[in-house]
Structure 1
């Protein structure tokens, strides 16, 4: 029997953005260009609150 198991959210995120340091650097660059958290999140495919969390660390 085969069961269909969904991929966890963290795995999906790791597949989209394997290099977290590069992702944060991209967020910082976009923020310096005047982009909002929502705009950054939309362009990177993550929730805007996560953008906020990452940039505050």
Structure 2
């Protein structure tokens, strides 16, 4: 999603719905935060930016 549409802001809900369809059973709110952190650790830390109060975007 980020690579196809860089600079587009995705809300937390959009990302959760896209990647964890059955989130009621397996995913809590911290899952997305931890996943974004792992992506940042494996890439340039500034590649995914947090847009405060909205979500995330790829710069």
What TM-score does the superposition give when structure 2 sets the normalisation length?
0.33
When the two structures are superposed, what TM-score results if normalisation uses the length of structure 1? 0.33
Indicate the structure (1 or 2) with the bigger Cα radius of gyration.
Answer: 1
- Bigger fraction of residues in helix: 1
